[in-house]
Structure 1
Amino acid sequence: YMGPSGQLDDLVNHSCDPNAGLRFTDDGVILVALRDIVSGEEISWDYSTTLAQSNWHMICQCRSPECRRVIGNFDTLSPDRQEFFRARNLVAPYLRRKDAVLPVRRAG
């Protein structure tokens, strides 16, 4: 949906049950595994973790048992799922809670 950026996100598809997520840091966006990923398994992230106040939506065909069928804004996720991503710092900065203090990896 974001269009080709020439970056890593061009190569990673959506899943409602992703095995990875995007972490936004001062050094850029980092792809982070949510669990062990086996050789040959497609890497995926949940597009909703970057969407706020958008009219964009996508019909999902991820075939996951957790498939939501329509992908939209972050607030369309259940509160538990929103907290899952927030607790792991895997949401865009504008979706973070205002009171949250999240660690940021620094180049050293």
Structure 2
Amino acid sequence: MCHPISQKKKRKKAGTVLLDFIVGVFQPLVPAIAGGGILKSFLLLFSLLGWMDAKGQTYQILNMVGDAPLYFLPLLVAVTTANKLKVKKTHWSHYQQSVRSFCRT
């Protein structure tokens, strides 16, 4: 019995599937992590050049903004993993409740 090519399923190798999953989870996070690192680099440069006081409020707030992607990395990985696994958005209320309780503490 001859099957047309369009009906045959190609099996992917386990390594290819694993790497595709890892890349799909972490690729959306790269801009946030890179942006935080660049912001912190500029803050360090401005502090060394004397353009900003390291004890000033603006510096402290921007420093926290630069740390935010790394601080919330586990939550960001959970969200991108849920997107990659195509979790229904109706199940996200549990994530929202945990974030709200986490931010209140």
Tell me the TM-score normalized by structure 1. Answer: 0.23
- Return the structure number with greater strand share: 1
